[in-house]
Amino acid sequence: MNALRCFALAAAVVVSCVVGCEKSDSTTPSAEPASTAGEKATSGGEKESFTIGMSQCNLGEPWRVQMNADIKKAASSHPGLAVIYQDAQNDTLRQRSHIEEFVSSGVDLIIVSPKEAAPLTPPIAKAVKAGIPVIVLDRRVLGDEYTCFIGADNKAIGQAAGEWLVTQLGGKGRVVELKGLMTSTPGQDRHSGFRKGIEDSEIEVVFEADMKWLQPDARKEMESALARFDDIDAVYAHNDPGAYGGWLAAQAAGREKDILFIGIDALPQEGVQYVKQGILNATFEYPTGGATAIETALQILHKQDVPKEITLGSRLFTKENVEAGGDPIAAPASVATE
């Protein structure tokens, strides 16, 4: 181990202990970067080093790995900032404890991407009551007891997906909807937005199932849909892993060429590649918000006002526009670009 890695490890252990030594579960928080975090203040008394606790609901999907990478990259250009990462491994109770631990250890700010809305609402509200600002990223909680919400407009994305499909199918067809976890707000909004997008058409959703954002679940659900229906024109999946799972099932049945596949996320190394390879017909970008979260965190920590809600934009990628970088979808009123 070279000297630099040795130093980084030692520093990470120190910061992990500041925040995580009383943890009861087996996951180890990781801290990045740790070297300059602490309680430093300027000569004017204003604090200039901060510790952020980042609660990620899971790291099992590429999109969430990308979110943490985006946070890490943005934080790395601010030497006074240490970020402690916790991964709840898709376990709501574990994520609740992570937030409670961040509060009891006295981090300066919490960023949380919650697994589900209802169960994560109380610990987040408690953190705010304890005086710790909370940025809620990507999936919402109930009510408004948080400092700032950052995410793309999932209803608008769902609606754009519906409208795109209406055009592709000439206003008529049979669709399978593979839904994201319906106790999470992106699942609910991508569903209701899509239904709005197809409402004036003769498109019929013949099969719908909650695949909980997971590719293997999506594949299984699609196998059932294929077994029940001989004529499926399109699959609308709430994320790209789900769309790919659906495609795998259709391919195994020799039916992938008869069906259009639509997903959401459009990571350059995932959904955008699927479009380039002709696996997906369309994917809609869902920005991670990682960089915006760090910029917003710094404003909050420096006592600047931030909006209660920051809406990120989205782009549609199809085979026609993918090489040129996709096209923006109709933007809501105020949109931040990452």
Task: Tell the smallest beta-carbon distance from residue 20 to ligand FRU (Å).
Answer: 23
Task: Tell the smallest beta-carbon distance from residue 227 to ligand FRU (Å).
Answer: 26
Helix 154-168 and helix 185-198, axial crossing angle in degrees, nearest 10: 40
Helix 290-301 and helix 62-76, axial crossing angle in degrees, nearest 10: 40
Rounded CA separation 301/47 (Å): 9
The maximal CA–CA distance of the chain, rounded, in angstroms, is 73
Task: Tell the smallest beta-carbon distance from residue 139 to ligand FRU (Å).
Answer: 5
Tokens 């299984």 -> residue: 220
Task: Tell the smallest beta-carbon distance from residue 230 to ligand FRU (Å).
Answer: 30
Task: Tell the smallest beta-carbon distance from residue 334 to ligand FRU (Å).
Answer: 21
Q: What is the DSSP string of 308-333?
A: SEEEE--EEEETTTGGGT-EEPPPPS
Distances (CA, A) of 241 to 57, 88, 124, 178, 272: 17, 20, 29, 10, 12
Cβ count within 10 A of residue 128: 16
Q: Which is nearer to ligand FRU, 207 or 213 (CB)?
A: 213
Task: Tell the smallest beta-carbon distance from residue 190 to ligand FRU (Å).
Answer: 8
Cβ count within 10 A of residue 325: 10
Rounded CA separation 20/23 (Å): 5
Q: What are phi and psi of 251, to 5 degrees?
A: -65, -45
Task: Tell the smallest beta-carbon distance from residue 265 to ligand FRU (Å).
Answer: 5
Q: Which is nearer to ligand FRU, 108 or 270 (CB)?
A: 270
Closest CA to 80 of 44, 46, 132, 33: 33
Are 330 and 160 spatial neighbours (Cβ–Cβ below 8 Å)?
yes
Q: Which is nearer to ligand FRU, 75 or 237 (CB)?
A: 237
Rounded CA separation 326/309 (Å): 25
3 state DSSP class of 40: coil
Q: Which is nearer to ligand FRU, 34 or 211 (CB)?
A: 211
Q: Which is nearer to ligand FRU, 70 or 265 (CB)?
A: 265
Binding site for ligand FRU (CB under 6 A): 61, 63-64, 138-139, 180, 184, 186, 213, 239, 264-265, 286
Q: Which is nearer to ligand FRU, 171 or 328 (CB)?
A: 328
Task: Tell the smallest beta-carbon distance from residue 138 to ligand FRU (Å).
Answer: 5
Q: Which is nearer to ligand FRU, 153 or 233 (CB)?
A: 153
